[in-house]
Amino acid sequence: MSTIEFAIKMKEGSPVGHPLLASNVAQIFGLSEVTMESLLQIEYSPFTPSTMPKDNLRQKTIHDGYVLDAAGYVRDSYSTEKKTFDELNKDEILEEKLKVLSDGLHSQLSRPIVPTTLGFSVDGGIGDLISLEIGRKHERLSIKDSYNSVHVIGIEDYDIIISSIEDKRLSILDTKWGLEQKIKNVDLNTAAGLVELDNIDVNFMSTDVHMERRNTSMDS
């Protein structure tokens, strides 16, 4: 049996006041030992402390008092409520929005699926660009597309594929820079500005990004 470190006064089945050290309660009431039974005899219950959950950007934690659980132990009771506009840390909210945007950018740039005018799509990551440069240098005339199908190409087709990837990656960056500027232009000193910020969609994840790395290197 674990040692009871804290105890709290009970009245009509509900905790009242604040927890005390169980040793102090024992001294006050002359208890030879602190057990569930000895505490109940003096209308006390053991108390189990807990760490108050941290607030997040939009909600705060409220300590509602103490509750008696089914095992006979009193515990802290918490709830959450929305922060008022004045309680919000606007700088942190802005920083979080920009972080989500940045994380989305990295996801999109990891290996976007890039359509080409050759009738198939390729993966457009940095590693894929390097592989294409190596393939062109060694005049390899077959490559794998985004779905691992093999295609025979000419040396001149490398320019088309590489340009398509570079255009795609620049397009993603342009979108990110535009959204970033839009976010930074929002006036967060007003509630309307906060709503405007929330309505800016920074979700970069889409179906044209490969989430699993596949082998798209040139065929040997």
Q: Does 26 share its domain with 129?
A: no
In the prediction, which pLDDT does 107 show?
87
Q: Is there a domain that residue 208 lies in?
A: no
Q: Does 74 share its domain with 130?
A: no
Tell which of 83, 107, 141 closes a domain: 83
Q: How far apart are CA 117 and CA 60, in angstroms?
A: 53
Q: How far apart are CA 52 and CA 63, in angstroms?
A: 8
Q: How does pLDDT run across 132-158, given as a tens digit for each residue?
A: 999 999 999 999 999 999 999 999 999
Structure tokens at 101: 């945007």
Catalogue the E-assigned strands of 51-208.
59-68, 74-82, 113-115, 121-123, 142-144, 150-152
Q: Does 187 share its domain with 93?
A: yes
Domain residue limits at 90: 86-198
Q: Is there a domain that residue 130 lies in?
A: yes
Q: Which of the residues in the chain have pLDDT under 70?
A: 1, 204-220
Q: Does 18 share its domain with 34?
A: yes
Q: Does 107 share its domain with 41?
A: no
Q: Is there a domain that residue 142 lies in?
A: yes
Q: How does pLDDT run across 36-70, given as a tens digit for each residue?
A: 999 999 999 999 999 999 999 999 999 999 999 99
Place of tokens 């470190």: 5
Q: Which residues contact 217 (CB under 8 A, 6 or more apart)?
A: 131, 144
